[in-house]
Each structure stands twice: as C-alpha cells, then as structure tokens.
Amino acid sequence: MSNPLFNEDLRKARRSIMGNPAPEVSQTRKRKSLFYYGWIIVLVAMISMAFWFGFRTMFSVFLVALVDEFGWGRGETSGVQSLAMIVYIVTAPLAGGLVDRFGPRRVILPGIILLAAGIFLCGSIHRLIHFYIYFGLMAGIGVTFVSLATYTAIIPHWFEKRRGTASGIASSGMGLGMMVFVPLSQGFISLWGWRISFLILGIATLVVLLPLNGLLLRHRPQDAGYSGPDGETAPTKPDENSAPTMNSPFVWTVGEAMRTSNFWALMLFPMFSMVGIYLISVHFVGFLVGQGLDRMAAASAFAMIGIISTPFRIIWGFVSDRIGREKAYTLGSLFFCCSFYCLVRFEQGGGVWLVYLFVLLIGIGWGATAPMFMASAADLFHGPAIGTIYGMLEGTVGIGGAFGAYIGGYLFDKTGSYMQAFGVAVISGALSCAFMWAAAPRRGKLLKKKVLEAKKTTWGTDNTR
C-alpha cells in the first residue's frame, strides 16, 4: 500500500525537477484564461461614471424647472453648473493624486457620501445661493470622486494592449448616464416636482454607488493576484515606482511631464473640446423649448445623444487601438463640428428632422472624447503619477466646461439667440483637434525614450565633473 504523504512529496519533487509551475501560478493562469478581473473594474467605472455624467447633464432639465418657478435668469442659474466645474478644476488633480497615494476605496467612498448629501439637499432650496452651495459646491466636490479623474488613475494599470477599448467601455457610462438620468429626471419632475426628484436621486446615489465601489473596486492587478496588465502572470518587470537611474526604467513624474510640450497640448485639447460639450449639456433642452418643442420631447432628444454616444465610445476606443488616437479623434471631431450646422438651420426655420440629424451627428462625435482623453494620457505618461496627471487634465476639462456652460447663457441673455454660442462651439472643437495632434500620444514610447536619453546624458556629464 502506498503512503499518501509520500506520494504528495514525490509529486512536488517531480514538479520542481521538471520546472513545472507552482500550483498557485497554475491557478492564476487558469483564472486568466477564464476571466480577467480588469473587466469588473471597467464595469464599476462605467456604472459610477453614469451617475457622474448623468448629474452633469440632468442639470439642463432642472434649469428649466427652477427658472420657471423662481424667475431666475438663465445666465445666473447656469452659473451653478459653472461653479461645479470650477470646483472640479480644483479637486480633480487632488482626487487623482489621492487615489495614487491611498488607493481608490479610501478616496471614492467619502466622495459618494458627499455627492449624495448635496443632491439630497437640493430638494430643500428656496434661494439661488442654496443651489450654489448644495449643487455647485457639495455635489461638485463629491461628483469628482466618481468621474474620469479617479477611474483613469485605476484603469491604465489594468490594461495596456486594449487600453482604448477598456477606456471606451468605461466612459460609455457617460452616455448611459445621459440616456437614463435626463428623461428620468424630467419624468420625476412631471410626476412629483423637482424637489422630490432631487431627494430620490440623492438616495439612489448612496444605495447604488456605495456598495458597488466598496465591494468590487481594486487599485492594481496585483491586488487581484496578477503580476501585470492584461492578466499577465509572467514574472513582474522591474518596479516602475522606483526612482530612475541609468540602469533602471524611466518613470514619469508630474514635474518630468510638465517639462514636455506634449503635456501642455494634452491639457489643452480636452479643454477646448468641453466648451461645446457643456454648452450643449446645459442649454440644449432650453434651446429646444424656446423653439417650441415640448419639454419631455426636448429632454428625450437630449437623452438620445447619450444613447447614440454610448456605443460610439466603445467603437472609437476600439478603433483608436488600431489606427491611433489622433486619427480616431479627428474623425469624431468632424462629426461634432458639422452637427451644429443643423441647429443653425433649425433656428432659422428648418424642419424638426434637423434636430434628429444633430442628435445623430453629435452623438457620434461626442463618443470620441472621453476614451481619447483617458487613453492618450496613459499612452504618454502612464506610471505611478498617472492619477495626478490625469486629474490635472480633468482640471482643464473643468475650465472648458465652465466657460461653455456660462458663455451659452451669457450670449443668449445678450442676443436672445444661441447662434453665436454655436459658433464658439465649432471653433473650440477645431482647436481641440489641432492640440490633439500636438499632444501626439502615438509617440508616447518615443517621448519616454527621448527624455531618458537626455537624462542619461545629464548623468554622464555629472559623473565627469
């Protein structure tokens, strides 16, 4: 009769002699072949960003309701959204840096609580200053922690080969947010009024986002048993968090990135893009209502932009993995800029079919924005400081968004028309495309090599002194 313990020792010895992988590694490889946990991270990001952008875009629905009830001007009321964007400018770099340092759950969960509280308290406002405090300030800070700023500090660690696709799927939550929250908010307002609508949305934020992020979110592949991105189980590469030397990999820091022209172009192309995006987000429903459309029909048309942009975020991300970020973004920008001609013709008396054509074109073009923001930043400056760097990018997004939200209301109050505002959106879109090419994410590895060679030259000069 054989001894079971002896047989087990013999099997272990044979594995050692033959160089077979240890059982733990085999389990990891088996898990990789069946499922990669990185896609769970993408799913969490997608749902969370649906709330983030849903709250950004539903503002246009509440804007109409609040202006009607209180008689506030559109310019001063849309200033609440501008304040929220200014808050985003300040907190986005901080949020990304905190994720880099403390991990996502310690940062995101308190933000969710603050966001839910701000939205809930909006149901009690009686003066414009209350709206500025609860939505612009409290919710403005909280929503930053479920935005691109935080999840772009996480997703690039999980994906390299399919980074554009993963970014596209995650950011498709933005389109889902528009698709769900805009008509849902209008429906709630029609049934129960805007106060009850704010209360329901605040509670829903807490109930959905808190357990989702608290239970499922992980920072890096190593936290789930992998050794690298894309489910790698091979021996880990040298630690890219260590300080660079002549014999170690170069690691991007915020300071090193800021010394390149690519960094500043990367900051500017999303900023100009967001001028037109937020001009439409805040004023599209009001524009259609002013042209005689029913409020629910206007809200539904706006939601359709989200429906169309959702698959195109995934499509543009997938396409960019194959033809490059710059070419994909340029194609998307063409759709975006051309769409505004439809609104100009509609305001001049054209048929309602122009609104539907606008919705189609801008939905396609809008889909190219967020995936390119996320993937381009990671292509250029992926490393331990990616959260802070992308947070800075989102800060410039806030500048563009705040300007777009304000300039639309300002020009309407001055001229009684959105015609000039649409022109601003088109010019900004064209500038955004130009700066994307200047950022040159296709040359990310070459840029890193160039900076490292310059450092080696500096180190060599220092050693000869």
Instruction: Provide mean pLDDT across the span 173-184.
Output: 84
Structure tokens at 452: 């490292």
Residue 148's nearest CA partner among 318, 337, 313 is 313
| pLDDT top residue among 27 and 403 | 403
Residue 336: both structure tokens together:
């975006």
Greater pLDDT, 165 or 23: 165
The total number of residues shown for the chain amounts to 465
Query: Average pLDDT for residues 304-318, to the nearest whole number?
Result: 89
Nearest to 368 by CA among 395, 331, 337: 331
CB 271 within 8 A of CB 400: yes
Tell me what the mean pLDDT of segment 120-124 comes to: 94
Predicted confidence at residue 26, as pLDDT, reads 42
Q: Provide the pLDDT for residue 11.
A: 52
Residue 210 has pLDDT above 90, yes or no: yes
pLDDT at 182 over 80: yes
Question: pLDDT class for 183, splitting at 50, 70, 90?
Answer: confident
DSSP result, 246-284: TTS-----HHHHHTSHHHHHHHHHHHHHHHHHHHHHHHH
CATH code of the domain occupying 37-219+254-452: 1.20.1250.20
Give CA torsion, residues 39, 43, 48, 49, to 10 deg: 80
> Residue 34: pLDDT band by 50, 70, 90 thresholds?
low
Q: Which two tokens stand for residue 326?
A: 């710059």
pLDDT at 460 over 80: no
Domain ranges of the chain: 37-219+254-452
Confidence at residue 27, expressed as pLDDT on a 0 to 100 scale: 47
pLDDT for res 206: 95
Number of other CB atoms surrounding residue 273 within 10 Å = 34
294 has pLDDT over 70 = yes
pLDDT band at 133 (very low <50, low <70, confident <90, very high): very high
Q: How confident is the model at residue 271 (pLDDT cuts 50, 70, 90)?
A: very high
The pLDDT-based confidence of 97 (bands split at 50, 70, 90) is confident
Per-residue pLDDT band at 350 (split at 50, 70, 90): confident
| Segment 421-428 long-range contacts (CB within 8 Å, at least 24 positions apart) | 421/279, 421/283, 422/340, 422/343, 422/344, 423/340, 424/275, 424/276, 424/279, 425/275, 425/276, 425/279, 425/280, 425/340, 426/276, 426/337, 426/340, 428/272, 428/273, 428/275, 428/276, 428/400, 428/404
Question: How many CA atoms are closer than 13 Å to the CA of 41, on its beta-carbon side?
Answer: 28
CB neighbours of 254 closer than 8 A, spacing ≥ 6? 385, 388, 389, 392
Model confidence over 147-163: pLDDT tens digits? 888 998 899 889 888 88
Confidence of residue 222 (pLDDT cuts 50, 70, 90): confident
CB atoms under 10 Å from CB of 423, counted, come to: 13
Question: Among residues 248, 229, 278, which one has the least CA distance to residue 398?
Answer: 278
- For residue 323, what pLDDT band results from cuts at 50, 70 and 90? very high
User: What pTM was computed for the model?
Assistant: 0.73
Q: Which of 377, 355, 357 is nearest to 436 (CA)?
A: 377
Mean pLDDT of the residues in the chain: 84
Handedness of CA 83, 84, 89, 90 (dihedral sign): positive
**Which string of DSSP letters, residue by residue, matches 87-152?**
HHHHHHHHHHHHHHHH-HHHHHHHHHHHHHHHHHHGGG--SHHHHIIIIIIIIHHHHHTTSHHHHT
pLDDT band at 17 (very low <50, low <70, confident <90, very high): very low
Other C-beta atoms closer than 10 Å to the C-beta of 114 total: 18
- The rounded distance, in Å, linking the Cα atoms of 429 and 269 is 9
Least confident of 26-40, 196-210, 269-283: 26-40
448's tokens: 């890193």
Ramachandran area for residue 273 (φ above 0: left; ψ -120 to 50: alpha; else beta): alpha
**Span 325-347, pLDDT tens digits:** 999 999 999 999 999 999 999 98
Lowest-pLDDT range of 172-181, 233-242, 297-306, 402-411: 233-242
In terms of phi and psi (left: phi > 0; alpha: psi -120 to 50; beta: otherwise), the region of 292 is left
CA separation, residue 239 to residues 100, 227, 235, 384 (Å): 15, 11, 12, 10
- Give SS3 for 17: helix
Over residues 29-41, the mean pLDDT reads 71
